[in-house]
Amino acid sequence: MPSSKGKSGISGKLTAIAVVVAAVVAGAVSLFYLDREAPVHAGPPTVKLISQPQYANTIVALFGEDIEVPRQFPPINRTEGLLSLGNANTAITPVLVERFYRYGQSVANQVLAPARRDYFMPCVPADGVVVDAVCAKAFISSIGRHLYRRPLTEAEVTAYVAAADQAAKNLENFYEGLSYVLAAMLAAPEFVFIWDSVEADPEKPGEYRLDAYSKASRLSFFLWNSPPDELLLQAAERGDLHTSEGLNESVERMLGSPKIDLSIRGFFADMLHFDEFENLAKDMVIYPSYGPGVSRDAAEQMLQMITSHLVDRRADYRELFTTRMTYMSNALAAIYRIPINPSREFVPYEFAEDSGRTGLLTQVGFLSMHSHPGRSSPTIRGEGVRETLLCQPVPLPPPNVDFSNFEDPAGDFKTARQRLVRHSSDPACANCHMITDPIGLGLENFDGAGQFRLTENGAVIDASGELDGIAFSDPASLGEAMRDNPATTACLVERLFAYGINRPTEIEDTVVIERLEKQFSYAGYRVPDLMKTIVLDKAFFAVSLEAETAPDEVASVH
């Protein structure tokens, strides 16, 4: 048995170590909070078109999952890699207004159909045929509060009730009159656009802040990809979101909700360009296993894998590029050549060590999206990694590029590597290919449909390559290179921050982004913790107005 002196010596050493660790941790924490007090760049108030997932999530939240919602929204151009930011540059056109009114009509007709309307009505009209202004007002006020993400003004309620009354008289049906108004509300700018309203900041004379309801919307669409629920609207009404304690309480509640999955799915579907799956097609003669439903299931596989990894297991983001855990469906089993028949649509699945499948880059979804209809493409795949996952733009190819060196009809060059060496010898092409091909060649063990292979045209495939100075030998080690690349996590932080504040980041945001990167590292690269750090940083709600905006104009700024 050790002597008491020995115990004392060990205890002393442990105490000394504890003091050092505590000092280091305290230093890091105090540095963090000191950084948080640094000035932040405040952008202008933002206005953006509601996205299709946000529209669908709103309808589900208010009216239930059995209401059919439109799947096809107006095409949007990406801004800084995100459709969400492109939504802020959408022009209001007659076609857009007409389209959203048709969407609204479809939803309203379902909500107020005889089989459903009693569930959504807060009252029973005196007569189903004649006008009942009191009941109409109760319905419009209740629904409008959630559609507009704020209480309706008296003027708005009065106008909508009058419209419902007039429509009910014309149609001789109370519910059809309400349906007419609900369709109009679903097409109104107050619903279709998510905008910031600002007010004078009582704590900082001469400066402005987002009003409480705008804060609630920004929080909710970031953390849930859905509108504020009743509890969040009540917190906004009380002014809780203007206080640190109230904001923390709401954020903790929201992060503990299952709706966090909707946010993770929405962000990564945007970041990874899942809108391109809608028009993705493969040559069925070359790839007969890539049948109907594969693209849809490939997208869903990636989203289920991502949400399970990041939310359910709260795992390290970087391990998305090395994990063999995924989900499998019947349609995907055929293209992965897996002899299973899932009893449900999707089941958890772990790839074998010798499968060649490790991480996001080796999923059929990523591989098939970044390929041609009838063959793979190291260049497109390398570009996908650079631009989508590392936030590094790739220059556009020069005009009139001669592709004959790559698409060699004589067949002298059997593998993509051989053809690319010849093609990229053209000086006009070399600059682009040197930053894409060394990455994409690491995925050449997968054909244009994402199926594993060892040879191409009878020649053994060399899947070695290089990523930012790190050499790799196969898809698995490419995943490891992605995991260890600082640009992988830096890109996620920048994109997620921009997604949250609804605008592209600028050079003035560098200090905030670097602060967020440090906290992401301290938290073990856990994305829900990163989201919490973002919303609790004062930069998340920071807003400024142009100097020439007069104080009496603030109330009308949206």
pLDDT band at residue 40, thresholds of 50, 70 and 90?
A: confident
Which residue in 219, 188, 215 sits closest to 199, CA to CA? 215
| Cα angle 376-377-381, degrees, rounded to a multiple of 5 | 115
| Cα angle 88-89-90, degrees, rounded to a multiple of 5 | 100
Residue range 127-146: mean pLDDT, rounded: 89
Residue range 159-186: mean pLDDT, rounded: 95
51 near 266, Cβ under 8 Å? yes
Residue range 117-126: mean pLDDT, rounded: 89
The span from the CA of 384 to the CA of 392, in Å, is 10
Whole-number pLDDT of residue 340: 73
Give, rounded to a whole angstrom, the gap between the first and last alpha carbons of the chain.
Answer: 75
3-state class (DSSP) for residue 43? strand
What is the largest distance, in Å, between two alpha-carbon atoms of the chain?
Answer: 97
Rg (CA), the chain: 27
Whole-number pLDDT of residue 424: 57
pLDDT band at residue 92, thresholds of 50, 70 and 90?
A: confident
The span from the CA of 130 to the CA of 54, in Å, is 35
Lowest mean pLDDT, pick from 259-263, 358-362, 418-422: 418-422
Which DSSP symbol is given to 374?
A: S
User: What percentage of the chain has pLDDT greater than the value 90?
Assistant: 74
Cβ-based neighbours of 81, under 8 Å, separated by 6 or more: 271, 387, 388, 391, 495
Q: At 432, list the tokens.
A: 């682009």
pLDDT at 555 over 80: no
Which DSSP symbol is given to 15?
A: H
Residue range 267-273: mean pLDDT, rounded: 98
Residue range 240-257: mean pLDDT, rounded: 98
pLDDT band at residue 282, thresholds of 50, 70 and 90?
A: very high
**Long-range contacts at 136-143 (CB < 8 A, ≥ 24 apart):** 136/161, 136/164, 136/165, 136/168, 136/174, 136/177, 136/178, 136/181, 137/161, 139/178, 140/164, 140/178, 140/181, 140/185, 143/62, 143/182, 143/185
The span from the CA of 57 to the CA of 149, in Å, is 14
Which residue in 331, 346, 249, 343 sits closest to 294, CA to CA? 331
pLDDT band at residue 14, thresholds of 50, 70 and 90?
A: very low
Whole-number pLDDT of residue 291: 86
**What does the pLDDT look like over 197-214, one tens digit per residue?**
999 999 999 899 999 999
User: From residue 358, how far is each of 303, 326, 363, 438, 444 by CA, in Å?
Assistant: 16, 10, 8, 18, 14
Which DSSP symbol is given to 152?
A: P
Residue range 428-441: mean pLDDT, rounded: 82
Task: State phi, psi for 243 to the nearest 5 degrees.
Answer: -115, 150
Written in H, E and C, the secondary structure of 51-104 is CHHHHHHHHHHHHCCCCCCCCCCCCCCCECCEHHHHHHHCCCCHHHHHHHHHHH
**What does the pLDDT look like over 507-535, one tens digit per residue?**
999 999 999 999 999 999 999 999 999 99
Residue range 534-556: mean pLDDT, rounded: 70
pLDDT band at residue 19, thresholds of 50, 70 and 90?
A: very low
pLDDT at 108 over 80: yes
